Structure 1
Amino acid sequence: MIGRNGGEILIIGLVIAFSIFSNQIVNALHPVIHWMKNLRAGWLIPIAIFIIISFPPLFGHEILAILCGLVWGLGIGIAIVTAGVLLGEIANFFTFKYSCKTRSAKLEKKSIFYAALSQVVREGGIKIALIVRYSAVPSHFATVVFATCGMNFLTFIIATVLSLPQILVQTFIGVSLAGSSDTKDNKLMHILNIIVVIALVIITYVAMRYVKKRLREAMPAVIHARRKARQFEMTESSSVV
Structure 2
Amino acid sequence: MIIHSLIIQKLKSLSFTAKVFLCLLFVFYLSLGALVIIISPARIAQYLYDQARILAEAPFGSLALALAIVCISFPPLVGHTTLVTLCGFAYGMNGVYIAATASIIGSALVFVVLRFLFSARLRTWSGHNQKWQALESVIRAKGLPLVVLIRISPFPPWVYSNSLFASIEAVKLWQFVVATFFIIPKLLLHTFIGSKIAQLSDGDQRGRMDTHTKVINGLLVGSGILIAVFASWLVYNLVQNHIRHLEGISPNVDELAAEAIEDFDEEDPLISHT
TM-score (norm 1): 0.72
Give 1:79 deviation, angstroms: 1.5
Give 2:226's match in structure 1, choosing from 189, 194, 197.
194
Q: Does the 8 Å contact 2:52/2:89 carry over to 1?
A: no
Task: Confirm or deny: 8 A CA contact 2:81 2:190 kept in the other structure.
Answer: yes
Matching residue of 1:100:
118
Q: Secondary structure at the match of 2:69?
A: helix
Identity %: 23
Given that 1:30 and 1:67 are in contact with CA atoms closer than 8 Å, whether structure 2 keeps it comes out as: no
Change (3 A) 1:29 1:100: farther
**Cα drift, residue 94 of structure 1:** 0.5
Question: How far did 1:178 drift?
Answer: 3.1
CA distance in 1, matches of 2:87, 2:118: 33
Give the match for residue 82 of structure 1.
Answer: 100
Pick closer, same or farther for the CA change 1:193–1:217 going to 2, 3 Å.
Answer: same
CA distance in 2, matches of 1:34, 1:92: 30
SS in 2 for 1:110: coil
Post-superposition offset of 1:34 = 3.2
- Whether the aligned pair in 1 keeps the contact of 2:154 and 2:236 (CA below 8 Å) is yes
- The Cα of 1:141 is off from its aligned counterpart by 1.4
Residue 68 of structure 2 is matched in structure 1 by: 49
Matched, 1:38 2:70: no
Aligned residues: 196
Q: CA deviation at 1:197?
A: 0.8
Structure 1 runs (4+) deviating above 4 angstroms are 26-32, 212-216
Q: Does 1:60 align with 2:72?
A: no
Distance 2:144 2:63 in 1: 30
DSSP 3-state at the match of 2:93: helix
> Which residue number in structure 2 is paired with residue 208 of structure 1?
240
Task: Please give the per-residue CA displacement for 1:119-143, whole angstroms capped at 9, x wherever unaligned.
Answer: 2223332222221222211233122
More divergent stretch after superposition (151-160 vs 115-124): 115-124
Given that 1:119 and 1:218 are in contact with CA atoms closer than 8 Å, whether structure 2 keeps it comes out as no
Aligned-pair CA distance for 1:163: 2.2
* Residue in 1 that maps onto 2:217: 185
The residue number in structure 2 matching 1:131 is 149
C-alpha spacing 1:110/1:67, structure 2 compared with 1 (3 Å):
same
Q: Distance in 1 between matches of 2:113 and 2:133?
A: 21
How well do the aligned residues superpose, as a CA RMSD in angstroms? Answer: 2.6
Is 1:114 the equivalent of 2:98? no
Query: Which sections of structure 2, spanning at least 5 residues, go unmatched?
Result: 1-40, 201-205, 207-213, 257-274
Structure 1 residue 213: Cα displacement:
4.4
State the alpha-carbon separation in 2 of the partners of residues 110 and 88 from structure 1: 30
The one-character-per-residue Cα deviations of 1:141-161 (angstroms, maximum 9, x if unpaired) are 122121121101111111111
SS of the aligned residue for 2:127 comes to helix
- Call closer, same or farther: CA 1:79–1:122 in 2, change over 3 Å: same
Assess if the C-alpha contact under 8 Å between 1:120 and 1:218 holds in 2: no
The Cα offsets for residues 19-57 of structure 1, whole Å up to 9 and x where unpaired, read as xxxxx9x95865543332232211111111101110122
Matches within 5 A, 1:136-175: 136-137=154-155, 138-150=157-169, 151-175=171-195
* 1:183 to partner: Cα distance: 2.9
| Alignment TM-score, normalising by the size of structure 2 | 0.64
